[in-house]
A and B are shown apart, each in its own frame.
Chain A
């Protein structure tokens, strides 16, 4: 456990040193504040619209940004050490490959978690203070849910980045594959799902369809933040399938958690076979 923390501590102090943590927090804060104030601009007015609308907009933007940041943060975790020549040295220390990987995950995970809490937390407090007659309890609950799910979404993409990082032999390859992962889950997946729905002409089992959304962590994330307000009308596109899911909030949280655990386990298994 000690060596896991030593690795995590180095990652964390690295992201403080190169100001990654601060930069991510600022991006999140600006994003949240901007959406809160200008979210209603489409309807011809400037100002705070409503908590559900703000969270829904934040989640829609979050699915682009958060996976990208997580992948950027973590894609070179292992392959970077290998190219830098330090992986060989680390492995001659009393440190197993699992400990190294989990230490990295802890460090990157905490970096992302702190940045999220800091960025969106500040924005949430600003909304609570500056906007008149906003339901504080509703806002706090929605913000907590949003921050929690954002952290989990980030962690799942950190874990996915590790799967790439333990396999790739060079950093540019890992970066390319990480971008491909982003492209697939954020842009392509929903189109594929929609396309296959249309092409199948209703021959697919309607019971099965909503479950397909569970194959994409960004869809789970959006469902979590939108369904919680009990407003199915906010769901558009393939997400409308989600209102038929029989698993509820707890199930969605569990699904998102599995998206952290499974890729991380896969990365660990692959790392054990990497030749050093």
Chain B
């Protein structure tokens, strides 16, 4: 059973294409990071999976059923971006209301509130809650009824670093117990260690998807080596230039260390040759981060996309 499967899915709003030919799937026990600039189609993708809208083309199945079917939505947990609740009710009342709607066990209500750290505030009205507390309540809401598919839109907004770490630990536990999780976030360094796969959307099309290794290969971005010379920098530079079969890399002198950007394929031959030359005292290797990969796929025109309405 897949958590969801999108095959060649398209969506249009007022004839303007919002999503075009998106292929994406999520298996149980997997955390998928969904990334893209504002208006790239992340929210639309999530809304389609939730069954709030119907795709205009392509095939979509959720938990082996159709999106929006009550038997399917019962097993989906969703935390919207900027989650809001009824200000005049207490946290406990709100969670009980949503638990009844979902057909979840009411005993879960105090348990979940404790789990997200609201045990002291559960009987206070939501209008007195801070942004972070509302976010925690939203998270508790998403976890009602032990969902098989969990979709979180910017879950760490308003959370302090400790709460953020707690959240990611919780997500790992859920993933290990077989929940499929979709994580939308703009805090890329924060989510990088926790996601199994990433999908990058731009302008309604899927630019890349796969695990970080696959994305790095696909992006073919240079690996950065920081080399500390045993002797002088010049002799180290010479040693690098004399390497056979290695495209001449970009080199920069930073505080008497040499920064070398090398193509992924050239990394090992270069390192082997340098080790043999004895010119290197220390090596630091920096793989492209998720953020680097993201910027690579989105393109440098990132800011131009930011102003669009979703």
Contacts and interface: CB of A to CB of B under 8 A. Distances in A.
Interface of A: 2-3, 6-7, 10, 14, 17-18, 84-86, 88-96, 275-276
Contact of A6 (B76, B80, B97, B141): B97
B88 interface: yes
Given A6-B97, A85-B80, 14 more contacts: A3-B101, A6-B101, A84-B84, A86-B85, A88-B52, A89-B78, A89-B83, A90-B101, A92-B73, A93-B102, A94-B71, A94-B101, A94-B103, A96-B70
A94 B100 contact: no
Interface of B: 50, 52-53, 70-71, 73-74, 76, 78, 80, 82-88, 97-98, 100-103, 141
B88 A89 contact: no
Contacts of B76: 92
Given A86-B86, A94-B73, A94-B74, A6 B50 contact: no
Contacts of A18: 88
A23 B163 CA distance: 44
Contacts of A275: 53
* Interface SS, A side: helix
A183 to B, nearest CB: 30
Nearest to A93: B101
A86 B78 CA distance: 12
Contacts of B73: 92-94
Contacts of A3: 100-101
A93 B80 contact: no
Contacts of B84: 84-86
Contacts of A91: 50, 52
Contacts of B141: 89
17 contacts: A6-B97, A6-B100, A17-B88, A84-B84, A84-B85, A86-B84, A88-B52, A88-B80, A89-B78, A89-B83, A90-B101, A92-B52, A92-B76, A93-B73, A94-B101, A94-B103, A275-B53
A10 B71 CA distance: 23
A91 B80 CA distance: 12
B50 to A, nearest CB: 5
B103 A2 contact: yes
Nearest to A94: B70
A276 B85 CA distance: 17
A14 B97 contact: no
Contacts of B50: 91-92
A1 B52 CA distance: 21
